Amino acid sequence: MRVLTVTGPGLDFPHIAQAVKIHRYRTGIESGKTTRQTIYAITDMTSRQASPQRLGQLARGHPGIEFVHHVRDTTFAKDASKIRTGHGPANIATLRNLEVKTLRDAGHHSIAAGLRQASYTPFTRPLDLLGLT
């Protein structure tokens, strides 16, 4: 992990105080293959508020958030979305979180499979899942 204190005007992130580069190593349960992943993050916390050790703890302490982001990235192709202005990105993220939670509550382990199943009867199945029939 590397942490850099960011100073200077003219950045697109007006409240940034630190930038973080984290190298993660993960071993697949089934394959046993180890992969390396590089994560970049920014924070508005200064070095006095959050040391590199604290930033590492924060990064390791949120696997649930990372999982939700992974589902959004892979199933909903979030990174390819053209929704970038106004409240659009936050609204779409909220709707996607609702979809994921609703499908998980209905017992689906695969969100992609749950979406496919719901698409077979698009006028009734989503309403059934939400209990609105």
Instruction: Determine how many CB atoms are found less than 10 A away from the CB of residue 127.
Output: 13
Indicate the helix (H) or strand (E) that contains 110.
Answer: none
Global pTM value: 0.51
For the record, the structure tokens of 6 come out as 């960011």
Q: What is the pLDDT of residues 35-84, one digit of tens each?
A: 998 988 888 898 899 998 888 888 877 666 667 677 888 888 877 888 88
